[in-house]
Structure 1
Amino acid sequence: MRKFVMGAVCAAGMLGASSASAETLTAGVEAAFPPWAYVEEGEYKGIAIDAMRAIAEDQGLDVEFKDLPWPSLIPALAKGKIDLLVTGLNVTKERAEVLDFSIPWWENDDEVLVSADSDLNVVTALCCGATVGAQGGSTQFGWIEANLVEADTGVELRGYEDYVTAVEDMNTGRIDSVVTSTDTAETLISKGQPVKIVGTIQQNQPQALAVQEGDPNELLGKLNAGIMNIYKSGQWEQIVHKYQPQASIRIIPTTMPDYVDSYKKPIPGYSE
C-alpha cells in the first residue's frame, strides 16, 4: 500500500498508535484558528482536527498534522508538500482552480468585530478612515480589499498572520475592527476576549477539506465516505458541540457552488 511523504509532524503521542498497514497522510493545518484548529497544552485540538482523526479511523488511515502559516497552506498543498488541507477552509472560485474539494461539511458567515467598549457600529467600523484587520490570504481579506479598499471607502486594510494577533492589535487601539468568521468570532468571545460583534457580512460560505488538483492520491472518495459516516453516526455533531455547544448542525453535504469541478456527479465516495 502506498505510503505518503511526511513533513514535520506532531508528536506521536498526540495521535495514538498507528496501524502498520494504514496509509499515513500529512494534513496541513493553521493551528491558530479556533474552533477549527489550534494547539492547547501542546496538543492539536479543534473541530477539523477531531473530525479528521475520526475520518481517518473510519477509513483505515493514519493522519499526522503539520502546522503552517495560513498563506503557506494552499501553495504547500498545490505543490504536494502536504496531502490534504484540514482547517476552516472556505470554498472559492480561485481556490477551486488549484485545489479539489471534498463534499462541504459546513457553512459560515463573516462577522465584524470591535473592542467591547467601542462605539463603532457595522457601518463606521468599515468606513471612512477605519483601519480594518483580517488574516492575509483569507476570504475576509479578499472581500474587504474588493468591496471596501478598491471602492475608495476610506478604509485601510491591514493583514495578519492569524486572528489572535489581529484582535490583540484591535484591543490596543492599533486598528479599529476585525472581520472574521462567525465560528472564530464566537470562540474568541467565549474565551474571554473583550470584543463584540456589530454586524454580519458574506453569508452561507461553504467549507470543505481540500486535496491536490486532480486528486492524484485518490483521497476524495475516502474523505467523502468518512465525512458522511461520522455525520450519520452522530459523531460529527458530538465533535462540533464539544467546541461550539450552541452551534446548529447543518445537513451534510451543504450547498456547493457549480464551479467546483471535483463536485461533479458521480461524486467519489458519496451516493445520495
Structure 2
Amino acid sequence: MRTARTRSSFLLTAALILIVLLQMGCQTTDDSWERVQAAGVLRVGLDPTYPPFEVDDGRGVYGLDVDLAKAIASDLGLDVQFVYFGYDGLYDALATEQVDVLISALVIIPERTRDFAYSEPYFNAGEILIVPADNTTIETMEDLGGQTVAVELGSLGHVEATEWAKRVEGLEIITFSTADEAITAVQQNNAHAALTDAISGRLFLRENDGLKRLPESVTVEPFALVVRSEDEQLLTTLNKSLINLEQTGQLSQIMSEWLDS
C-alpha cells in the first residue's frame, strides 16, 4: 500500500507539473511596445469624418486627434502612419492588427474591455454649462433654481437637465432644435444658461463673444486611446506619453488650438 501511495503521489505531481508547463506554453509574451519601437512607426486608426478631431479634406488628414497622435509619436521617437476606417470598422481593424492604436474621439465603453484596453482619458466631452460672461451667480446646476436652462431637444443634455429638474426647485427647461440654438438663447438673454456637450459648446464660444463655460463639467464622457487588451506594454507606454504631454502643457495647447478661441 505504501508503494502504491508513493506511485500515486508521483503521478499527481507529474500531472500538475505538466499542466503548469502547458499553461506557460500557451501564454504569449507581451512585446507590443518592442514591436512598435522596432518598426519605428505608430500605426493609428481613425475615422476621418469627425471635425474638429479628425477630418480629411482631400489634401490630408488634420484635427485634434491627428495633432495628438503626432505629439505622442514624437514623444516616443516614432513616425506616425494614419489608416482610415469607417467608425463601425475601427475596433475590427484594431482586433485584426491592421493598426497599433485607435485615436478617433472614442468614448470609453466598459462592455468592450474584454477585448480592448483604454488609456487614461485625454478629453471630457461631457455636458457643460454655458452662461453670460458677466455671470456671478450660476456656478453649478444647483444654482439654477427658479431659472431657465436651454438644451437641444433629445440630447444627453436634455436628459441630464430633466433629472436635475426633479431635484432643483423651479428649474425650467427650454428645448431647441440644435445645440447652437440653445446657446444662442443665452446670448440673447432668453435663457439663464445652456447645457450642452463640451465640443458643441466650446466651438460656439470659439466664434462668439459675451459667454463663458463653467470650469466644472456636469457629466463625464471620456475620450481615450484604444489598444488590444493583450498589449499592456504598449498601453503603459502610451499612458506615460499622455502624462508627459499633460505635464509639459502640450496636451492643453492642442485642445485649445482646436476648441478654444
TM-score range, shorter chain: 0.5 to 0.7
Of residues 36-45 and 180-189 in structure 1, the stretch that sits farther from structure 2 once superposed is 180-189
Deviation at 1:25, TM superposition (A): 2.1
User: Which stretch shows the higher mean deviation, 182-191 or 93-102?
Assistant: 182-191
Q: CA deviation at 1:95?
A: 2.4
Contact 1:2 1:23 in 2 (8 A): no
Cα distance 1:50–1:233, how it changes in 2: closer, same or farther (>3 A)? same
Contact 1:3 1:24 in 2 (8 A): no
Question: 1:98 is matched with which residue: 101, 108, 115?
Answer: 115
Return the letter of the residue paired with 2:230. G
Is the counterpart of residue 204 in structure 1 residue 217 in structure 2? Answer: no
Matched AA of 2:74: E
User: Matches of 2:224 and 2:203 in 1, distance apart?
Assistant: 20
- Residue 48 of structure 1, CA deviation: 1.4
Deviations 1:209-267 (A, max 9, x none): 01011216x31122111111111111112111111125xxxxxxxxxxxxxxxxxxxxx
- After superposition, the Cα gap between the structure-2 partners of 1:186 and 1:67, relative to the gap in structure 1 and judged at 3 Å, is farther
Opposite residue 55 of structure 1, the aligned amino acid is I
* Paired residues for 1:185-264 under 5 Å: 186-187=202-203, 203-215=219-231, 218-245=233-260
- Flag the 1:202–1:34 CA change in 2: closer, same or farther, 3 A: farther
Any idea what SS the aligned residue of 1:219 has?
helix
Q: CA deviation at 1:189?
A: 8.8
Pairwise CA RMSD: 3.9
- Aligned match of 1:182 in 198, 204, 210? 198
Give yes or no for contact 1:24–1:62 (8 Å, CA) kept in 2: yes
CA contact (8 A) 1:22 1:62 kept: no
Partner of 1:76: 93
TM-score by length of 2: 0.54
What is the Cα deviation at residue 29 of structure 1? 0.6
Q: Which of the pair is proportionally richer in strand? A: 1
Q: Give the number of aligned pairs.
A: 171
Q: Confirm or deny that 1:32 pairs with 2:82.
A: no
TM-score, scaled relative to structure 1: 0.52
Question: Structure 1: which 5+ runs fail to align?
Answer: 5-18, 112-120, 127-131, 133-139, 145-166, 168-179, 193-200, 247-272
Q: Equivalent residue for 1:161?
A: none
Conservation of the 8 A alpha-carbon contact between 2:117 and 2:227: yes
Amino acid corresponding to residue 241 of structure 2 in structure 1 = G
Correspondence list, 1:5-84, <5 A: 23-40=40-57, 42-84=59-101
In 2, Cα distance between equivalents of 1:94 and 1:202: 23
Give the Å deviation of 1:61: 1.9
Is this contact kept in 1: 2:203–2:260, CA < 8 A?
no
- 2:164 aligns to what? none
Corresponding residue number in structure 2 for 1:13: none
* SS state at 2:61 partner: strand
1:231/1:101 CA distance change after superposition, 3 Å: same
Structure 1 distance, partners of 2:97, 2:58, is: 30
Sort the Cα spacing of 1:79 and 1:110 in 2 relative to 1 into closer, same or farther, 3 A: farther
Q: Quote the offset at 1:101 in angstroms.
A: 0.9
- Listed as ranges, the gaps of 5+ residues in structure 2 are 1-32, 129-149, 160-177, 179-195, 209-216
Matched residue type, 1:68: F
- Deviation by residue 1:112-139 (Cα, 9 ceiling, x = unmatched): xxxxxxxxx748x33xxxxx9xxxxxxx
